[in-house]
Amino acid sequence: MLRARCAQYSICRPGHMPSPETAVLYLAHMMPFEAEVRVHPRAVRLGLRVHPGGRVVVTVPRGSSRSSVLRFMHRYQGWVERTRARLAEFQPRPSRAEARRAYALHKEAARRLAYAKIALFAPLYGVTVSAVSIRDQKTRWGSCSRNGRLSFNYRIALLPERLAEYIIVHELCHLLAFDHSARFWTLVSRTVPEHKSLRKTLHAHHRLHA
């Protein structure tokens, strides 16, 4: 739940807010966004909260003027819209059973994709891959060991093809440069020259990192 930091407003002026029961109807046709307005007898300042699901609650001290409430809502309209948009991006975490089903469903497709792209790109770098594994990794898209073993997140099968290619090329290049030095990125650029923009796009997918 996200809360806006709100300034205190004066109360007991002409045009004051009505009872809690009629507050929403009293302001509904003038509000800049849909919200539940609550008149609270112990509130000392105007407050605003955006709850999961996008529900907005405006807390109003008893006796606040209608104009001050509307000004307050207009002031935070942009913040409310941005916060609702951010909350809409978050998806409920799948259960363990759902995660296992997703892994089982996409694992082999990810394996076929990895082998196909390795067959395409490995000869261009003159490297040999000793083994490939597909895992349900929580924080990484791929990894590489010094003995030539590559591991990939099964979710590469769900990505646009070029993003998946970048991940696989990234790990192949680690067989030649086991770091993220300038030499490493030069190697990546040989086959994925747009890797910088792809990395930005990739970081937006499931908040995982290559």
- DSSP classification of residue 139: S
Residue bearing tokens 């991006």: 89
- Tell me, yes or no, whether 208 lies in a domain: no
119 and 58, same domain (yes or no): no
In 3D space, the residue among 171, 207, 210 whose CA is nearest the CA of residue 191 turns out to be: 171
DSSP 49-71: EE-TTS-EEEEEETT-BHHHHHH
Instruction: Tell me the C-alpha distance between 60 and 127, whole Å.
Output: 67
Q: Element (H or E) spanning 161, and its range?
A: helix 161-174
Domain boundaries, position 118? 96-203
Q: What is the pTM of this model?
A: 0.57
76 and 115, same domain (yes or no): no
**What string of pLDDT tens digits covers the 210 residues of the chain?**
444 444 333 222 334 444 444 444 445 557 777 888 888 888 888 998 888 777 888 999 988 888 888 899 888 888 888 888 777 766 567 788 988 999 999 999 999 999 999 999 999 999 999 999 999 988 889 999 989 999 999 999 999 899 999 999 999 999 999 999 999 999 999 999 999 988 887 876 554 333
- Tell me, yes or no, whether 61 lies in a domain: yes
Q: Tell how many helices (H) and how many strands (E) occur in the chain.
A: 7, 7
